Amino acid sequence: MDKAALLTDIFERNASRRQAQLPLLDVREELSKACSLAAFHEWEDFKTSKKADWDRIEAEVLQEMRAENGPQFPSNGWSRMAVQLKTEERFKAYAELHYGTQAYDASLYD
């Protein structure tokens, strides 16, 4: 993530707001939001680039959950969400172990 570019954008927006006689943005708050959004997009792009790994992990999760809950699993939105959550959890651990990539964590930007 290019924090200098993010800061430049914030300063440019503040210059426009100053010219329009609008309240200025809180630079720290805006930078935190911008960094969080950039980190989220980087993580999503990483997941997309490793789709084969994601699909394999998801298949393993489905197999395990179907063994526990029957062959019709997942049968509703809640159970599909459970599959997604468990897949995401395992994929995060896999990404860190195999690629040294940290997953997006919104709490880092609060």
Distance CA 86, CA 103 (A): 14
**What per-residue confidence (pLDDT) applies to 108?**
82
DSSP string computed for 92-108: HHHHHHHH-PPPP-GGG
Global confidence as pTM: 0.78
Average pLDDT over residues 8-30: 97
Instruction: Return the H-helix or E-strand segment holding 27.
Output: helix 27-49
CA distance 31 to 9: 10
Band of residue 13 on the pLDDT scale cut at 50, 70, 90? very high
Q: Tell me how far apart the alpha carbons of residues 99 and 25 are, in angstroms, rounded to a whole number.
A: 37
| E strand or H helix that includes residue 19 | helix 3-19
pLDDT at residue 106, as a whole number: 83
CA distance 70 to 86: 17
